[in-house]
Amino acid sequence: MKIGFIGLGNMGGPMAANLAKAGHEVTGFDMADVEIEGVRMAGGAAEAANGAQVVITMLPNGDILRRVADAVIPAMDKGAVLLDCSTVDVRSARDVAAQAQAAGLSALDAPVSGGVGGAAGGTLTFMVGGDEPGFNIAKELFDIMGQKAVHCGSSGNGQAAKICNNMILGATMIATCEAFALADKLGLERQAMFDVVSTSSGYSWSMNAYCPAPGIGPKSPADNGYQPGFAADLMLKDLRLSQQAAETVDADTPMGRAACDLYARFVEQEDGKGRDFSAMLPRFETRGRS
Ligand code: NAD
């Protein structure tokens, strides 16, 4: 396939490289001066999109996505697919999809889970919103860049799935960390706490697969000085998107709001910036109730 790829950062770079390695003809563009193995670099977003059957975007936020969409949509052939893999607000995803459809294109929002490791290893999970024909065309590319693609319904539903998932993740990580800190103060060994909770009703991905306590459970960023992994800054971004979406549709999300406020304090006022989101545990360890 002829593919345009815009936004070749930590995630987009390896995703584009994997597509090229699989034999697709990939033309890329990034604001920064980057080189990606197997990818021909264009002088602008529209040039990268020109003649492509699928144009993939992997960008920081919804405002940038809107600007890039304005540039690439007029350059794309009717029937081509605009496939946005960034994490953005649901409103921007739906507006960009409507703009693409009005120009005779298919549009998909397909945010990912799996992080930089998943992008490099081709093991991402895609949560996809948009039309069925577009999904069927992109499926072959999802299979190269990832291990699973779930079609979640119409435009914006991929972003909805992503922020709901990460709202659960943020809240359960905080709950897991505060419970470890409480257990410490009650004199309960961390290994015993893990052995019980990971096989009891308090279990979760945060406890079982990504345990925030060093030396306990499978290897995780806690065993590497809380280097990300999944950075607290990115968790904050996703929690803010969840609260923005909740406000738009008048949904009551008290746990999501509390998680958002806590990660905001951790990243913006404490030492959370640049650390893994599980570094909430050392934060709780040093604190009392007030
Ligand atoms: P990044 O900052 O490394 O990459 C974004 C790239 O977009 C940069 O290279 C930047 O130069 C480029 N860019 C910005 N404006 C542009 C424009 N107008 N035209 C062309 N290029 C432009 O970010 P990332 O970590 O690769 O994340 C990309 C997206 O994936 C984000 O929406 C993020 O929330 C999401 N995401 C990231 C992770 C992760 O672990 N890093 C995990 C899941 C989802």
Q: Could you report the per-residue pLDDT of 143-159, keeping only the tens digit for each?
A: 999 999 999 999 999 99
User: Binning pLDDT at 50, 70 and 90, where does residue 171 land?
Assistant: very high
Residue 290 is predicted with a pLDDT of 79
* Sequence-distant (≥ 6) Cβ neighbours of residue 201 within 8 angstroms: none
Task: Give the Å distance between the CA of 215 and the centre of ligand 1.
Answer: 32
Distance CA 240, CA 173 (A): 16
Residue of 99, 96, 245 lying closest to 165 (CA atoms): 245
The separation between the first and the last C-alpha atoms of the chain, rounded to the nearest angstrom, is: 58
Mutate to test the pocket of ligand 1, among 10, 70, 227, 276 (most ligand atoms within 8 A of CB): 10
- pLDDT at 71 exceeding the cut of 90: yes
Decide: 86 and 55 in contact? Cβ < 8 Å. Answer: no
β-pairing verdict for 106-109 and 81-84:
parallel
CA-closest residue to ligand 1 atom 25: 10
- Considering the entire predicted model, what is its pTM? 0.95
Residue percentage of the chain with pLDDT more than 70: 100
CB neighbours (10 Å) of residue 120? 17
- pLDDT at 211 exceeding the cut of 90: yes
- Give me the residue label for tokens 């897991």: 176
Task: Give the Å distance between the CA of 12 and the centre of ligand 1.
Answer: 7
Catalytic residue check, 185: no
Decide: 203 and 260 in contact? Cβ < 8 Å. Answer: no
